[in-house]
Amino acid sequence: MTRDAQHEFWYNTRTGEVEAGKQSVATELVGPFETEAEAARAPERLAENARRWAEEEAAEEDE
């Protein structure tokens, strides 16, 4: 499925708001996401990913 840039959602890390389409500078955006709900959950996903990566790195160091 081809995504239309106007139908993508972005999470703005500066404002904490979800944006429909790119409205801010790229350095403030996380995404794109297919739905507004997915974009709103971006901080949780980032934290989950960071935690998982830290656990993987710690496991590799123990080997």
- For CA atoms 9, 10, 11, 17, the dihedral sign is negative
Structural domain span for residue 20: 5-62
Confidence of residue 36 (pLDDT cuts 50, 70, 90): very high
Residue 51 to residues 14, 35, 55, 60, Cα–Cα distance (Å): 22, 24, 6, 14
- For CA atoms 11, 16, 17, 19, the dihedral sign is negative
In angstroms, how far is CA 39 from the centroid of its own chain?
Answer: 7
Q: What is the pLDDT of residues 4-28, one digit of tens each?
A: 666 899 999 999 999 999 999 999 9
CB 8, CB 34: distance < 8 Å? yes
Number of domains in the chain: 1
